[in-house]
Amino acid sequence: MDRRSLCLISILAFTLLLIPDAHSQPAQKPCTAGITFWKLLEEVRVGYNDGRLGLGTLYAVCLPTPSRKSTSNYPYDPDGGGKLSTIVKTSDGKVLNTYVWYAESIGGLWEMSRYKVVGGYEAVKPLAAGSYLLEFAIDDKPFYRFPLSIVAVKSDDPYEPAGNRYFIDGAWSEYGNIYYQRNDPTSMLTFTTFVQDKGGRQNKTPVPYEIKIVGSRDGRVLASETGKLRLEPRWLKATLNFRHGDDNAFFKAGDLLSGDGRYIIQLTIDNKPYGHYPFVVKGGRIELQGKQIRENTDPMVHIVDYLSGGRYTSWWIKREPAAK
């Protein structure tokens, strides 16, 4: 075989390598460290009576294996492993507290199950009204940030101790989430948001809600649902479904995805407009928006949506205040 034939065979082989196999998975995007958005909304809280920040179990993605070997089952360990910390800062950068985590890798996620506080838990002081930042760091190098604010309301309940009652705010009131099981269009479409009562007293009587999906251009109602919600002076997750108006059957994702266009989810709580959540369907898919578009977002504040090991997607929709 001459040199020219060998050259042609080499070029052909290289070309075949570049042709994607019909059954191959798309190229994986680079893995960037972050904290899952769902868990931040579910597990970051403030003490209603004392204003102290509380952190439950969080999950991180794409963390490196610590170079410092731990003597425990936790590769990240305050007592002798890698250092994974959450630093609480004021809006002007002043450090208030540092939480150092125990974390282990479970099913592709890093479970941050418990922590120690630098200076002891006694060092955690009540947060005054204002804006704050949770900064997550590995070996003191920041990789993710989560902003929040604290609202203080003076108690007017004569049966409770005098003083302020504290509420946390931020992404809880800024976003809603669209999801359908396994991203299968035959599954029900669900919408999740977080609700609370800032009146300072637990409302024992559920309040009515109404939710609709309407076309932005023509105002046509595609689906709706009514029901009741329980409100408390803390954020509670509300997962809502939709029904067809004609036969009262559950509204499936495919019913929405079959028509490209602009849509709005309208939510009313206790007979008052609560929020509008606009989104776009194009090419049979809901378009990502805002901080969920990784290519256009600072990795420090990117919304990390990591369902079932990253196999499925849910869509975070920015809330627009509804007209009163």
Residue type, 58: L
pLDDT score of 91 more than 70? yes
Task: Report phi then psi at 230, rounded to 5.
Answer: -95, 125
| pTM reported for the whole predicted model | 0.88
Give how far the C-alpha of residue 151 lies from the chain's centroid of Cα atoms, to the nearest Å: 21
Q: What pLDDT digit, counting tens, does each position of 231-257 carry?
A: 999 999 999 999 997 778 999 999 999
Q: Residues 265-281: pLDDT tens digits? A: 999 999 999 999 999 99
Q: For residue 170, report the phi and psi dihedrals to the nearest 5 degrees.
A: 140, -125
CA 223 from centroid of its chain's CA atoms = 25
| Residue 282 pLDDT grade (very low, low, confident, very high; cuts 50, 70, 90) | very high
Question: How would residue 160 be classed by pLDDT, with cut points 50, 70 and 90?
Answer: confident
Distance CA 288, CA 279 (A): 8
Domain 34-169, CATH: 2.60.40
User: How confident is residue 13, by pLDDT bands cut at 50, 70 and 90?
Assistant: very low
Residues in Cβ contact with 49 at an 8 Å cutoff, skipping those fewer than 6 apart = 161, 163, 165, 166
CB 265 within 8 A of CB 240: no
**What's the whole-number mean pLDDT along residues 304-318?**
92
Q: How confident is the model at residue 308 (pLDDT cuts 50, 70, 90)?
A: confident
Q: Mean pLDDT throughout 207-215?
A: 97
How many C-beta atoms surround the C-beta of residue 230 within 10 A?
Answer: 14
Helix (H) or strand (E) holding 167: strand 164-169
In angstroms, the CA 127 to CA 136 distance is: 19
Given this model, what pLDDT does residue 17 score? 33
Of the two residues 55 and 199, the one the predictor is more confident about is 55
Q: How many CB atoms lie within 10 A of CB 221?
A: 11
Burial code (b: 16+ CB inside 10 Å, e: under 16) for 187-208 equals ebbbbbbbbbbeebeeeeeeee
For the chain, percent of residues with pLDDT exceeding 70:
89
Neighbours of 84 (CB within 10 A): 27
| Nearest in space to 277 (alpha carbons), one of 324, 225, 216, 196 | 216
For 50-70, b where at least 16 C-beta lie within 10 A, e where not — what string? Answer: ebebebeebbbbbbeebeeeb
Task: Identify the pLDDT of residue 316.
Answer: 98
In CATH, the architecture of 173-292+313-318 is Sandwich (2.60)
Domain boundaries along the sequence of the chain: 34-169, 173-292+313-318
Cβ neighbours for 96, distance < 8 A, ≥ 6 positions apart? 88, 89, 90, 125, 127, 132
Distance CA 9, CA 11 (A): 5
